[in-house]
Amino acid sequence: MTLLLVSLFAMLLIGVPIAYSLGISGILYFVFLEPDLIGVLPQRMLAGMDLYTMIALPLFILMGLVMNASGITSRLIDFCLMLVGRFRGGLGHVNISTSMIFGGISGSSVADTASVGASMIPEMARKGYTVETASGITVASSTMGMIIPPSIPMVIYAVTAQQSIGTMFLASLVPGVMIGLFMMGVIVIMSGRNGYPRASGNLSRKEKVSVIQRALLAFLIPVFVVGSVVGGIATATESAAIGAFYAITLGVVVFRTLPLSALPALFRSAIITSATVMIIIAMSQLYVWILTIEQVPLLLGNFLTSLELSPFALLLVVVLAVLFIGTFIDVTPAILLVTPVVLPILTQAGISPIHFGVLLVSTLAIGLVTPPVGMCLNVCSSITGLSIGRIFRGALPFLLANLLVILVVMLFPALTLWPTWLTP
């Protein structure tokens, strides 16, 4: 295990991508300690990707890319401006509520940061917000993108933990919305101190109808995707295909903002992004296998059992560990590495895999906004030119909302377990 961990961290420090760091570190273990098993490695790597459910991953990614390229963000911003722009600190509320809705469409926090940030940050700066604060609001609110359904990380967790994707989608809905509402509470406090203005006046009835009509078709995407899975009409893979087809139809036929010539580039981008995730999944299988060979889950379980912790204390220890892991390991490999090790221990302690899954993804979402990895920080930095340190400082007050929601969900599991009451 020393060889495994030292080699992994050494490669991460010199800038080797996480997928190859995991793969090289795992191969080194087998070369030096288990050379007889090297011939089995290709099979073990491919087994983790050879799942029908994983076809949903590139389809969800394609759906988000198409909606982003179709200019849907401006329609959502106009709708949110109508709803909350009249309140003090209106643009802050608009930023958060747009991220809340966009997260339910794209399923990606990084896409949320790129799309909403490019539109909202310059406008907020013109209305009296510092660029640091505007950037902080944008990256912090984008964490809802991987919590509010449909969520790409939630799909990966559901497959890894062998849970229903539809149930995981519903379980993450309440915590995701709570994060947005708590962040709006932070905006209210900051507006009182800094005098942030309202964003717009009252619209006429005709203008309101126009704004709603422009945004309504986009709102149907999460209804189609999540509703078809939960209602048993389609599998997660089929619902992702429905969502992608609907997104293309909106962009090409209805809105006419997406030319057919742009589709090949979007398909290519979705393939490349999906391949990156699949490579990480394949390489992480080596690590999971090594952990099994070394009996790490059993040893860790015995250690935690010996501490005689209550279920809440055990869950708190795990969440703190995940919070630390998320600062230097991206979301997908963290889910793939943590779940097989920790989930059996928590299940034995009576903690639901559904409850843990929501906490795991919610906690890892914070890692997208914390240095040194912080994918959302890096995207926002490329938009604004600010350092990731300054953006992180702007995001800190809003990340407290994330932490508060995680604590509330830990104390009240019913916030995530209510979907299980719907099934007999």
Domain boundaries, the chain: 1-47, 53-422
Q: Tell me, rounded to whole angstroms, the distance of Cα 333 from its chain centroid.
A: 13
pLDDT band at 354 (very low <50, low <70, confident <90, very high): very high
Rounded CA Rg of the chain: 22
User: Measured between alpha carbons, how far is residue 225 from residues 118, 210, 220, 239, 332 in Å?
Assistant: 26, 25, 9, 5, 21
pLDDT at residue 132, as a whole number: 92
Chain mean position to CA 116: 15
206 is written with which tokens?
A: 């005709």
Residue 104 has pLDDT above 70, yes or no: no
The candidate with the shortest Cα–Cα distance to 80, out of 92, 68, 63, is 92
- Which of 2-11, 78-87, 103-112, 359-368 has the highest mean predicted lDDT (pLDDT)? 359-368
pLDDT tens string 120-176: 888 888 888 899 999 999 999 989 988 988 888 898 999 889 998 889 999 999 999
Q: Say what the pLDDT of residue 133 is.
A: 92
CA–CA gap between residue 85 and residue 79 (Å, rounded): 9
Local confidence band at 291 (pLDDT 50, 70, 90 cut-offs): confident
Beta carbons within 10 angstroms of residue 263's beta carbon: 17
Quote the CA–CA distance of 140 and 391 in Å, as a whole number. 10
Other beta carbons within 10 Å of 37: 14
DSSP conformation class of 195: -
**Separation of alpha carbons 204 and 12, rounded Å:** 55
Q: Judge whether residue 107 has pLDDT over 70.
A: no
Among 8-22, 103-117, 201-215, 216-230, the least confident range: 103-117
State the angle between helix axes of 109-126 and 131-141 in degrees (0 to 180), rounded to the nearest 10: 150
- Give the mean pLDDT of 163-191: 92
Checking if the pLDDT of 408 tops 90, the result is: yes
- Between the ranges 38-52, 79-93, 194-208, 212-226, where is the mean pLDDT highest? 79-93
pLDDT of residue 137: 93
Dist CA 279 CA 274 (whole Å): 9
pLDDT of res. 423? 57
The pLDDT confidence band at residue 201, using thresholds 50, 70 and 90, is low
More confident residue, 245 or 375: 245
Inform me whether the pLDDT recorded for 115 exceeds 80.
no
* The pLDDT value given to residue 407: 96
What secondary structure letter does DSSP report for 254? I
Q: Return all residues near 368 (Cβ < 8 A) that are at least 6 apart.
A: 109, 110, 139, 142, 143, 146, 326, 331, 374, 375, 376, 377
DSSP string covering 162-178: T--HHHHHHHHHHHHHH
Q: Are 129 and 193 contacting, i.e. CB atoms less than 8 angstroms apart?
A: no
pLDDT digit string, tens, across residues 322-342: 998 888 787 888 898 889 889
pLDDT tens digits, 37-49: 888 888 878 876 7
- The overall average pLDDT reported for the chain is 85
The whole-angstrom distance between residue 167's C-alpha and the CA centroid of its chain comes to 17
Q: Is residue 314 within 8 Å of residue 350, measured between CB atoms? A: no
Q: Alpha-carbon distance 278 to 287, whole Å? A: 15
Between 183 and 18, the higher pLDDT residue: 183
What sections of 353-387 are H helices per DSSP?
353-367, 375-384
Q: 50: pLDDT confidence band, cut at 50, 70 and 90?
A: confident
pLDDT at site 402:
94
Is residue 313 within 8 A of residue 404, CB to CB? The reply is no
> How distant is the alpha carbon of residue 245 from its chain centre?
22
Percent of the chain with pLDDT over 90: 26
Q: Rounded mean pLDDT of 203-221?
A: 81
Name which of 17, 97, 19, 2 is nearest 337 in CA terms.
19
Contact 249, 255 (CB under 8 A): no
Q: Are 100 and 80 in contact (CB under 8 A)?
A: no
Using a pLDDT cut of 70, give the percent of the chain over it: 97
Q: Residues 247-270: what's their mean pLDDT?
A: 90
Contacts of 167 (CB under 8 A, 6+ apart): 158, 354, 419, 420, 423
Task: Tell me if residue 156 falls in helix, strand or coil.
Answer: helix
pLDDT score for 173: 92
